[in-house]
């Protein structure tokens, strides 16, 4: 059976230590999976009031129910279109993202373990056999736990690599069968989970946004360099356009339509973006620069469909940077969010995208920025 193009990257996410090069993921096999139940006891991550990460994940996170939707409505119609016989949850084309453990060999699990359904703890954090028993000991530091095999999701670059495979790469046959397009934006998607963890590091939002978008460009470049889905080409052009409007992107991304060259450059951008601390002044300046792009959406400037793709990547950038800028309070925060919601609606109108209306709404948002308060001191400076 031909597996979807996403499968090699997802296999790497499931089975490897965190290692990724510009040429693709590198596998390091070894530890076995111990299952969700090894994490979810009341004395560990299943506590009622503290250490309740497993409860939050299971009750509120859509990842936990990704398996269940495979046997319903649209999924069944897609399975029929794909010629999948029987339960789509047992098909590699579906469970590679919706239930990653289902497609793995039994020898990758500890004895008598039944594979977890849905996206489970170890889908993201890595096979736990070698670090499970000691990762909470006070005399063991995080580097030692990572060395034993836990995936370092504190590393924003590593976090992006762990998520982008399922949240962007989509086999062309699935798309033609009716699967919705996939879009990856690390900061917003992490915030919407809701997080079962706390992360208050400096300028986390802008860093996650830029790192994730660079990782998305890398994956689209890889797909196109391997003669993948041509549907990615307009999106690829839009992402290049957006990232070249950032200060770091101007430095790291070439003016080139060679996909392997862009793949390597985008990976370098992702690595540097993960480490860059933003001052509040830098966030404001970048946001102002992106909002000033409204002139590019005036009628007659470019192909309407391509402008829609640009709007599609621009609005999440505005959203994440705006939220970081007004964090802690701002006089016109509500007006800004209303403007961004209106921009979202306009940007996602694939069939009837109106560049002039989008330009006007973006110009209005640009006006809101002039009234925004500087708020609290820069997080990067407080560190």
pLDDT of the residue at 371: 63
pLDDT of the residue at 136: 87
For residue 18, is pLDDT > 90?
no
For residue 304, is pLDDT > 50?
yes
Q: Which of 261, 149, 143, 278 is nearest to 209 (CA)?
A: 278
Is domain 31-152 annotated with CATH 3.90.226.10?
Answer: no
For residue 22, is pLDDT > 60?
no
Instruction: Please state the rounded mean pLDDT for residues 282-299.
Output: 92
Instruction: Please state the rounded mean pLDDT for residues 219-245.
Output: 90
Point out the least confidently predicted range of 10-19, 141-150, 188-197: 10-19
Task: Give the whole-angstrom CA distance, residue 53 versus residue 231.
Answer: 38
Instruction: Please state the rounded mean pLDDT for residues 154-160.
Output: 95
For residue 25, is pLDDT > 50?
no
CA atoms within 13 Å, Cβ hemisphere of 152: 16
Task: Give the whole-angstrom CA distance, residue 104 versus residue 114.
Answer: 11
For residue 368, is pLDDT > 80?
no
For residue 377, is pLDDT > 70?
no
pTM of the model: 0.86
Question: 198 pLDDT band (50/70/90 cuts)?
Answer: confident
Q: What is the pLDDT of residues 159-171, one digit of tens each?
A: 999 999 999 988 8
Instruction: Please state the rounded mean pLDDT for residues 18-36.
Output: 56
Report the percent of the chain where pLDDT is more than 70.
87
Domain ranges of the chain: 31-152
Task: Give the whole-angstrom CA distance, residue 201 versus residue 74.
Answer: 40
**240 exposure class (CB count in 10 Å sphere: 0-12, 13-18, 19+):** buried
Q: What is the pLDDT of residues 69-118, one digit of tens each?
A: 888 888 889 999 999 988 888 888 898 899 888 888 888 999 888 888 88
For residue 122, is pLDDT > 50?
yes
Task: Give the whole-angstrom CA distance, residue 351 versus residue 80.
Answer: 27
């Amino acid at each position: 059976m031909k597996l979807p193009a996403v499968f090699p990257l997802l296999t790497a996410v499931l089975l490897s230590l965190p290692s990724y090069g510009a040429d693709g993921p590198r596998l390091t096999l070894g530890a076995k999976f111990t299952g969700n139940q090894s994490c979810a006891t009341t004395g560990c991550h299943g506590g009622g009031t503290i250490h309740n990460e497993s409860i939050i994940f299971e009750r509120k996170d859509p990842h936990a129910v990704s398996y269940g939707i495979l046997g319903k409505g649209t999924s069944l119609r897609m399975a029929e279109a794909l010629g999948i016989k029987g339960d789509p949850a047992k098909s590699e084309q579906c469970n590679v993202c919706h239930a990653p453990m289902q497609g793995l060999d039994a020898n990758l699990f500890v004895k008598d373990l039944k594979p977890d359904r849905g996206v489970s703890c170890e889908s993201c954090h890595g096979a736990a056999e070698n670090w499970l028993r000691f990762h909470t000991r006070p005399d063991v530091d995080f580097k030692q736990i990572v060395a034993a095999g836990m995936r370092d999701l504190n590393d924003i670059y590593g976090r992006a690599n762990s998520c982008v495979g399922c949240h962007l790469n989509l086999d062309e046959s699935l798309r033609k069968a009716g699967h919705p397009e996939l879009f990856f934006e690390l900061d917003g998607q992490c915030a919407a989970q809701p997080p079962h963890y706390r992360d208050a590091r400096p300028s986390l939002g802008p860093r996650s946004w830029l790192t994730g978008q660079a990782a998305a460009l890398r994956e689209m470049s890889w797909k196109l360099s391997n003669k993948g889905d041509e549907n990615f080409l307009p999106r690829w052009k839009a992402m290049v356009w957006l990232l070249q409007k950032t200060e770091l992107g101007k430095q790291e991304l070439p003016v080139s339509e060679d996909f392997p060259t862009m793949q390597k450059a985008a990976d370098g951008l992702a690595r540097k973006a993960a480490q860059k601390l933003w001052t509040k002044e830098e966030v404001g300046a970048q946001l102002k620069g992106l909002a000033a792009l409204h002139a590019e959406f005036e009628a007659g400037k470019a192909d309407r469909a391509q402008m829609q793709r640009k709007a599609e990547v621009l609005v999440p950038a505005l959203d994440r940077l705006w939220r970081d800028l007004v964090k802690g309070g701002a006089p016109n925060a509500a007006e800004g969010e209303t403007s961004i919601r209106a921009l979202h609606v306009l940007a996602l109108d694939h069939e009837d995208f109106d560049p002039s209306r989008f330009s006007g709404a973006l110009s209005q948002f640009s006006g809101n920025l002039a009234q925004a308060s500087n708020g609290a001191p820069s997080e990067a400076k407080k560190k």
